[in-house]
Structure 1
Amino acid sequence: PSPTLFITNLETKTKKIELRSQLYALFTPFGKVIDVVAKKHGGGRGQAFVVFEEQAAATAALRGLHGEPFYSKELV
């Protein structure tokens, strides 16, 4: 168990700033989000890390959002 979630299958055409703010808004209801790390170039395209303050919040977000539509793609 970890307080960090690895998110894949993200839209690659969205601007990095918008993607980070939308992921923050999406995951905040599950607990305090410390950081959202999203890369647009290199090996990290379409991927992000969401870091929660508590592991329980990360688990709740994983269960609650897996497969949910986000920019017309399902979160993995």
Structure 2
Amino acid sequence: MKTADNLKDAELFCFLAARKPLLKLRIELKVLSDNIVNDLARQLDCTRLLLTATGELYNSASINAFFHRCLQYGNFLNQVCPIL
């Protein structure tokens, strides 16, 4: 589309804004700045949940015991099996 004939107001605004790179960028930044607080708040909630879950896994006695056993079995297998 090269002309703005037969466009409604909103369509004309978008058409003209798209033809001006700096205006388009300023509009995108304005929209982004309006939404960034809510987006960051959601990300913060998700990050806190992940941090809590990671802490629970890291401090889990049963998981630590499982990995300790895995290391013991690995050490045993390395001692018994000769290297060819």
User: For the pair shown, which has the larger CA radius of gyration, 1 or 2?
Assistant: 2
TM-score (norm 2): 0.23
More strand by share: 1
Comparing both chains, which one has the higher relative contact order based on Cα–Cα distances under 8 Å and sequence gaps of 6 or more? 1
TM-score (norm 1): 0.25
